[in-house]
Amino acid sequence: MAKEQTLSIVKPDAVGNNNIGSIISYLEKSGLQVVAMKMLHLSKEQAGEFYAIHKERPFYGDLVKFMTSGPVLVMALEGENAVAQNRKVMGATNPEQAEVGTIRRDFAKTLDENAVHGSDSLDNAKIEINFFFKPNEICARTR
């Protein structure tokens, strides 16, 4: 087991539904710790660049529109196997297929508006954390 950092985003649907606190609670109860957070309203350019990996997918335009439809909360999370742990607590991309007790099952309604983002690999986690945070904005947990 290794201590890792990963990026989490509470998406505009969940922010709009006032589920920020509940979602952070699911993450914290799973053992993950918040080491950085900020609220942002992404520009079209920021959202487009963040999701550039999906540029060729048919849902790319709608995804950018959704991610810029309201503010988001971006967080760096830390913990043992944080990348996989966060994906586990998030649940499957499609909330209908997400396990009971996961964030997406409990707070998301549709495949496109699915409450949270989580990095899918350690390499992408580093890229995504750097996308939103400067190194001195990550707060080491000294206690």
List contacts with ligand IDP (CB under 6 A).
54, 59, 63, 93, 111-112, 114, 117, 120
54 catalytically annotated:
no
Is the Cβ of residue 34 or residue 111 nearer to ligand IDP in the bound state?
A: 111
Residue 52 gets which letter from DSSP? G
Non-local CB neighbours of 48 within 8 Å, separated by 6+ positions = 64
Judged by beta carbon distances under 5 to 8 A according to partner kind, the member of Mg ion, ligand IDP, none in contact with residue 112 is ligand IDP
Please give the residues from 25 up to 54 whose contact with Mg ion meets the rule CB under 5 A: none
Judged by beta carbon distances under 5 to 8 A according to partner kind, the member of Mg ion, ligand IDP, none in contact with residue 103 is none
Q: How many residues does the chain have?
A: 143
Give dist(CA 119, CA 121) in Å, integer: 6
Q: How far is the CB of 112 from Mg ion (least distance, A)?
A: 13
Could you tell me whether strands 72-80 and 33-40 are parallel, antiparallel, or unpaired per DSSP bridges? antiparallel
